[in-house]
A and B are shown apart, each in its own frame.
Chain A
Amino acid sequence: MTMINTLIDVRDGEALVAAPQPIVLEASELDIHYGEHWAVRDVDIAVEQNRITAMIGPSGCGKSTVLRCFNRMNDLIESARVSGSVAYHGVDLYDKAVDPVEVRRRIGMVFQKPNPFPKSIWENIAFGPRVAGIARSKADLDEIVERSLRKAALWDEVKDRLGKSAMGLSGGQQQRLCIARAIAVDPDVLLMDEPCSALDPIATARIEDLMREIKEDFTIVIVTHNMQQAARVSDRTAFFSAAVDEAAGVRYGHLVEFAETEKIFSNPEDERTENYITGRFG
């Protein structure tokens, strides 16, 4: 990752950002079952390096479910079953030899509701690097804690109370702490599952600024209910929708259209996408 960063210096200009990027994550013919229920069908999506990929769509269209396949978070739900393939730099994440713990260290996650550990701010950040064996000494961990908090634009607000409980922070601060916690283990990809849905507009704007800043270091995939948010922050947008399986009489989610964000919002190819983004349904 560092090598690629030195090759393409994103700060040099927008032109470089638009250049085709290597593909980090690629789902092909992805099907997800919950028990008997075939919840998500036939999704093909590719996530490019150092860009923000947004997944939008109405409730129940499977976008969060797909996101959770990218770091095998679905493993935690006993009835969930995944078929097709999800390749991470060409390696199938669902291969038997792949350790989900290692996957989640490289592909971090920020959740819908801020979920800091009920421990000190310092402990929240240090936990990941410690269990990953990245750092053991207090001094090394101190350094990681400061670096992560600075990157998450939270350092100035909390530097005097690192030993205090993280539960005392505001919702927006908690969510930035969760971002700091996720980037402390130096992941390659950050998955964000509606990270702003529990936040007010000011906290939301801060998180969006933060996403634009850290995308030079990370590849970001964000699920959002908020179309404006997708339009504001993302480079590429995937529109998911729910459809009804007439034979079985059940709803399932599928990918309708996936393209550059600008194209999705100005000139979508699929009529359903256009209806959704113009507010005619969903």
Chain B
Amino acid sequence: MALSTLSSAGKAGNSVDSQTLSGTMDWRGMLFRVLLLSSLVLTLLIIVVLLVDVVSDGSGVLTGRLSDFLHGTLRSRSSDEKLGLFQGLRGSVWIAIFVIGLAFPIGIGAAIYLEEYASANRLTHFIELNIRNLAGVPSVVYGLLGLTLFLNLFKRFTQGDTLVSAGITLAILVLPVVIITSSEAIRAVPNALREGGYGVGATQWEVIRFHVLPYAAPGILTGTLLSLSRAIGEAAPLILIGAITGRLGSSPGLADVGALREKFTALPIVITSWVQKSNGAQDDGVEGMGFAAHAAAAIVVLLVFVLLLNSVAIYLRNRFEKQRG
């Protein structure tokens, strides 16, 4: 149909048939397309294998004794019927609260200052460069920093190897990432928007508060909440700060603020220690499920926790973007 229209539109003598219009095959383009697709498939495949493996290993625990598992505590040797990850979950929730309460306001504040107030001179560039470098520092190094600062120097305040020390250390760990992602979101705000604000006689603060920040909010949120997921998954710095891997004597409630200055553990630590215990240990476990199955179940809990945070991020981002119009 389309071809016949074409040929009838062609000048007399200039016959157009399917031969004229067919091009040669673009082999290189095809090859690249296949390569790109296969890297995507590979990535997805790895994730799927990981998920299937973990979920199938942990499914017994998750379906058989989920409530006991969520409320139970760490045990020293054998996995008995009281075995669970409540203490780890509590530790991770509080770490998240510390990161949200400390790293977010400080990081976003620093980013606003760097982008909107600081003059673009050498010192500013030097500071920005260093923040970027800090974001690449291995997390163990932050553990060492926490060890020096909160277990030795400020011991009177943190009481040593406690949840307070862990929370502040992880907040410091993600601070550079929060600053970088927030800076980038603020930098992406079109200058025309700022000019529009100034043009009607707004002060710098009013322009930032009413135009720059709302526009940058989706980007800031996405970046900061991703960094929160990173903080929750960290184990190395917590080990240096003295997270408990064996039996933790007390099991205070989730809202017990006083217990923030007691010894602690967190989900990644729980997982690591259970995996270690499952290696070569003779362990009949609860209802025939040993540490390995419980470690897998704990991974699923950690994943769900992180996924929940990410979906909050996506929800908020969509809301802000809709407001942006």
- Which residues of A come within 8 Å of B, CB atoms? 71, 73, 76, 78, 101-102, 104-106, 108-111, 113, 115-119, 127-128, 131-132, 165-168, 178, 181-182, 184-185
Contact = CB atoms under 8 A, between A and B. Distances in A.
A92 to B, nearest CB: 19
B137 to A, nearest CB: 31
Given A127-B210, A131-B206, A166-B325, A101 B199 contact: no
Contact of A108 (B120, B190, B199, B323): B199
A104 B325 contact: no
B53 interface: no
Given A166-B325, A167-B325, A111 B199 contact: yes
A152 to B, nearest CB: 14
5 contacts: A108-B200, A111-B192, A118-B323, A181-B196, A181-B200
Nearest to B215: A118
A131 B208 CA distance: 13
A187 to B, nearest CB: 8
A118 B201 contact: no
A18 B197 CA distance: 35
Where chain B touches its partner, the secondary structure class is: helix
Contact of B198 (A73, A113, A117, A181): A73
Interface size class of B (residues with CB under 8 A): 20 to 34
A182 B324 CA distance: 21
A182 B195 CA distance: 12
Nearest to B120: A78
Given A116-B196, A117-B197, A119-B325, 12 more contacts: A78-B120, A104-B198, A104-B200, A113-B192, A115-B190, A117-B211, A118-B215, A127-B210, A131-B200, A181-B196, A182-B199, A185-B200
Contacts of A165: 325
A104 B201 contact: yes
Contacts of B50: none
A106 B197 CA distance: 14
Contacts of B52: none
Contacts of B201: 101-102, 104-106, 108, 128, 131-132, 185
Contact of B200 (A76, A78, A113, A127): A127
A131 B119 contact: no
B195 A111 contact: yes
A145 B60 CA distance: 64
Interface in B291-325: 323-325
B199 A76 contact: no
Nearest to A71: B199
A253 to B, nearest CB: 21
Nearest to A101: B203
B121 to A, nearest CB: 9
Interface string B176-202: 000000000000001011111111111
A108 B193 CA distance: 15
Contacts of B198: 73, 76, 104
A128 B200 contact: yes
A165 B196 CA distance: 16
What 7 pairs between A and B have smallest CB-CB spacing?
A105-B201, A165-B325, A128-B200, A115-B192, A109-B199, A167-B325, A115-B196
B119 A184 contact: no
Contact of A127 (B195, B202, B203): B202
Contacts of B323: 118-119
Given A78-B119, A167-B325, A117 B203 contact: no
A110 B192 CA distance: 11
A39 B197 CA distance: 26
A71 B201 CA distance: 10
Nearest to B195: A111
A168 B325 contact: yes
